[in-house]
Structure 1
Amino acid sequence: MATVSQFFSDENACNLAMKMELASIFEEPLLPMTYGDGVLVTANGVQICYRLIFEGTKELCATNAEPTLQASLYYHGYWSQIDSKKIRDQCCYPSYMLVIAGPWICLLRGIYIDKVIIEPLTDLISLIPKLGDGSQVSQISQFLAALKIAMNRLNNYYRNLQLNYFSTYQDKNNNRIGFKYIHPLTEDIQSPIWKAIANNRSIVINENLQNGFMMIVMDYVDGDPLTTQKINTMSHNNRKIVMKDMEKAVAALHEQNIVFGDLRNLNILVTRKGTILVDFEWCGRHSIDIYPVTMSTEIPWPQGANPGALLMQAHDVHWLQVIKHDLNLLLQ
Structure 2
Amino acid sequence: MTTIPPSASTSPIWKRRCWKQYAREEYMHRSDSDFVVCTYECAHLPAPDTPSDASRRKAYEVIDDKWLDENAIRLFPRRPLATLKEGHNVLAVLTVIPLSRSTLLSSMVSEVNELPGHIHREQIAAAAQKRQSPSTGATLAQRLQTQNPRRIDAVYDGRPLSLMGPSITIYHTVFANFLKRMQESRHFTSDGLDVAQNFVTQAAAYHGDGSKRHTELAPWTNKGVHAHFLRHTPISNSVGKFTPDGAVFASRETHDGFRALISAAELETELGEGSGDPNAQAENVYVAYYPSREAQSVRDRSCCPALLIGLAGPTIQVSGAVFADQLVVQNLGDPVCVVPRLNTTGRSMLDDAGHRVAQLFYALRECLKELDDYYAALIQSITVPKRHLRSVGVMPGRPAPTSTGRAGLSPPPPMISPHFAQYKDDEGKSVTLTYTARLARDYPVKAVFVAEAKTDTETRTVVVKFTPAYCKDAHELLARASPPQAPKLRFCEFVESVGMWVVVMDYVEGKEVTNVLQDPVHIKSLEGAITALHADGFVFGDLREPNVLRVDDKVVLIDFDWCGKQGTARYPSDILLEEGAWHSGVQRGGLLEKVHDGFHFHALTGMKLPSV
Query: Do both share a fold (TM > 0.5)?
Result: yes
Alpha carbons of 1:177 and 1:286: their partners in 2 closer, same or farther (altered >3 Å)?
A: farther
The equivalent of 2:216 in structure 1 is 17
Distance 1:121 1:206 in 2: 23
Partner of 2:500, secondary structure, is coil
Q: Contact 2:314–2:338 (CA<8 Å) still a contact in 1?
A: yes
1:213 equivalent among 476, 491, 501: 501
Question: What is the CA distance between 1:21 and its match in structure 2?
Answer: 3.4
1:5 equivalent among 178, 183, 206: 206
Question: What is the CA distance between 1:243 and its match in structure 2?
Answer: 1.3
Letter in 2 for 1:186: A
1:191 equivalent among 430, 443, 446: 446
Distance 1:286 1:173 in 2: 33
The equivalent of 2:310 in structure 1 is 98
Alpha carbons of 1:143 and 1:64: their partners in 2 closer, same or farther (altered >3 Å)?
A: same
The equivalent of 1:166 in structure 2 is 420
Letter in 1 for 2:218: K
Letter in 1 for 2:367: L
1:323 equivalent among 592, 604, 608: 604
Alpha carbons of 1:196 and 1:252: their partners in 2 closer, same or farther (altered >3 Å)?
A: farther
Distance 1:305 1:174 in 2: 42
Distance 1:329 1:313 in 2: 10
Partner of 1:320, secondary structure, is helix
2:280 equivalent among 69, 75, 78: 69
Question: What is the CA distance between 1:26 and its match in structure 2?
Answer: 3.5
Partner of 1:323, secondary structure, is helix
Alpha carbons of 1:106 and 1:79: their partners in 2 closer, same or farther (altered >3 Å)?
A: same
Distance 1:172 1:128 in 2: 51
The equivalent of 1:280 in structure 2 is 560
Q: Contact 1:5–1:128 (CA<8 Å) still a contact in 2?
A: no
Alpha carbons of 1:254 and 1:179: their partners in 2 closer, same or farther (altered >3 Å)?
A: farther
The equivalent of 2:321 in structure 1 is 111
Q: Contact 1:223–1:272 (CA<8 Å) still a contact in 2?
A: no
Compare CA radii of gyration and give the structure with the larger one.
2
The equivalent of 1:154 in structure 2 is 367
Letter in 2 for 1:219: Y
Q: Contact 2:279–2:308 (CA<8 Å) still a contact in 1?
A: no
Determine if the alignment matches structure 1 residue 292 to structure 2 residue 576: no
The equivalent of 1:132 in structure 2 is none
Q: Contact 2:601–2:608 (CA<8 Å) still a contact in 1?
A: no
The equivalent of 1:39 in structure 2 is 247
Partner of 1:213, secondary structure, is strand
Distance 1:257 1:98 in 2: 48
Distance 1:106 1:302 in 2: 43
1:258-284 per-position Cα deviation (integer Å, ceiling 9, x unaligned):
432200133222243432223333233
Determine if the alignment matches structure 1 residue 145 to structure 2 residue 358: yes
Question: What is the CA distance between 1:55 and its match in structure 2?
Answer: 1.1
1:219-254 per-position Cα deviation (integer Å, ceiling 9, x unaligned):
2324142425xx5xx4xxx1x212111022223444
Higher strand fraction (1 or 2): 1
Distance 2:504 2:297 in 1: 31
Deviates further, 287-296 or 252-261: 252-261
Question: What is the CA distance between 1:319 and its match in structure 2?
Answer: 3.0
Q: Contact 1:226–1:268 (CA<8 Å) still a contact in 2?
A: no
Using the size of structure 2 for normalisation, the TM-score is: 0.42
Distance 1:48 1:288 in 2: 51
Using the size of structure 1 for normalisation, the TM-score is: 0.71
Partner of 2:526, secondary structure, is helix
Letter in 2 for 1:53: A
Determine if the alignment matches structure 1 residue 242 to structure 2 residue 522: yes
Aligned residues between the structures: 311
1:26 equivalent among 225, 232, 245: 225
Alpha carbons of 1:173 and 1:318: their partners in 2 closer, same or farther (altered >3 Å)?
A: farther
Higher relative contact order, chain-length normalized (CA < 8 Å, sep 6+): 2
Alpha carbons of 1:201 and 1:246: their partners in 2 closer, same or farther (altered >3 Å)?
A: same
The equivalent of 1:260 in structure 2 is 540
Q: Contact 2:320–2:331 (CA<8 Å) still a contact in 1?
A: yes
Alpha carbons of 1:305 and 1:156: their partners in 2 closer, same or farther (altered >3 Å)?
A: farther
Distance 1:190 1:245 in 2: 31
- Once superposed, what is the RMSD of the aligned Cα atoms? 4.2
Letter in 1 for 2:576: S
The runs of 5 or more residues in structure 2 that have no matched partner are 1-200, 236-242, 342-347, 379-417, 470-498
Question: What is the CA distance between 1:257 and its match in structure 2?
Answer: 4.8
Partner of 1:36, secondary structure, is coil
1:158-206 per-position Cα deviation (integer Å, ceiling 9, x unaligned):
3665989434555566554444322112124543122334456543222
Distance 1:253 1:95 in 2: 44
Among the aligned pairs, what percent are the same residue?
Answer: 19
Q: Contact 1:195–1:220 (CA<8 Å) still a contact in 2?
A: no
Letter in 1 for 2:601: L
Distance 1:313 1:219 in 2: 28
Q: Contact 1:224–1:271 (CA<8 Å) still a contact in 2?
A: no
The equivalent of 2:110 in structure 1 is none
